[in-house]
Structure 1
Amino acid sequence: MAPVNRWLRPEVYPLFAAVGTVVGICVMQLVRNITTNPDVRVRKEKRTAGVLDNLAEGERYREHGLRKYVRNKEPQIMPSVNDLFSKPE
């Protein structure tokens, strides 16, 4: 059996998918922090400004689109199944 066939078995595909998803989420968060976080300054011109009390910029970073979307949602993954088993008839 060749060494390549040892790793590319069909049983390993879900593991590759899970690891790929996690790596993608990590990269997305790192890019988000570098580009939009008010506490991170990559350019030298912005670093010389020191600590800024820019509350509007911090509020924009904190209130991102996902947070706005889930704000008024129920904290359940499958509400219909939870209601079926938890609420009496």
Structure 2
Amino acid sequence: MGSSSLSRWLRPEVYPLFAAVGVAVGICGFQLVRNICINPEVRVNKEARAAGILENFTEGERYAEHSLRKFVRNRSPEIMPSINGYFTDPK
């Protein structure tokens, strides 16, 4: 019975499903670790939780305005702008 269920799920047709689920789990794990480690509103240790609400606007601004957001801020919201321009702009 173990062999048949293993051969049922390990077919080449299922590999893209495993890849998509693996990428989704990876993104969720990255966001979880990012929030636990550097989010100024998340406090893991007892001393930081006892401090209450902190007015640390600079730390919150630094967390929200990360380097990827700064990189894409002034760019066009297109995935492939050259191909989009080729098919949409008149010659």
Q: TM-score, normalization: structure 1?
A: 0.94
Q: Give the match's secondary structure for 1:22.
A: helix
Gap regions ≥5 residues in structure 2: none
Cα distance, 1:42 vs. partner?
0.6
Q: TM-score, normalization: structure 2?
A: 0.92
Aligned residues: 89
Structure 2 CA distance for aligned equivalents of residues 54 and 3 of structure 1: 54
Runs of 4+ in structure 1 displaced over 4 angstroms? none
Structure 2 partner of 1:53: 55
Q: Give the match's secondary structure for 1:72.
A: coil
Q: Percent identity?
A: 65
Cα distance, 1:32 vs. partner?
0.6
Cα distance, 1:72 vs. partner?
1.9
Structure 1 CA distance for aligned equivalents of residues 41 and 5 of structure 2: 46
Gap regions ≥5 residues in structure 1: none
Where in structure 2 are the equivalents of 1:1-89 lying within 5 Å? 2-89=4-91
Q: Match of 1:63, as an amino acid?
A: E
